[in-house]
């Protein structure tokens, strides 16, 4: 199901980095040390925004991506 709050996600399994682009801000945030199992559950979740809030936000260290990285 499409999310009203999350525009796009990408996952780098080698670095365990989850990149999330948000609809409202258009910004990308990279979440570190996210296990592949968590990413798979996130992708499979019916309500991605709810899953993100319950299982990712506040649980993993993150950083806002640089402006020139936000194009994805």
The pLDDT tens digits of the residues spanning 8-50 come to 999 999 999 999 999 999 999 999 999 999 999 999 999 999 9
Per-domain residue ranges of the chain: 6-65
- For residue 55, how many C-alpha atoms fall within 13 Å in the half-sphere facing its CB? 17
DSSP H helical ranges for the chain: 36-44, 48-55
Q: Greatest CA span in the chain, whole angstroms? A: 31
pTM of the model: 0.87
């Amino acid at each position: 199901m499409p999310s009203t709050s999350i525009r796009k996600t990408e996952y780098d399994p080698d670095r365990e980095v989850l990149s999330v682009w948000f609809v409202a801000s258009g910004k990308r945030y990279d979440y570190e040390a996210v296990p592949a199992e968590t990413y798979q559950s996130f992708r499979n979740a019916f309500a991605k925004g709810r899953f993100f809030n319950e299982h990712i936000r506040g649980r993993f260290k993150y950083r806002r991506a640089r402006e020139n990285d936000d194009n994805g």
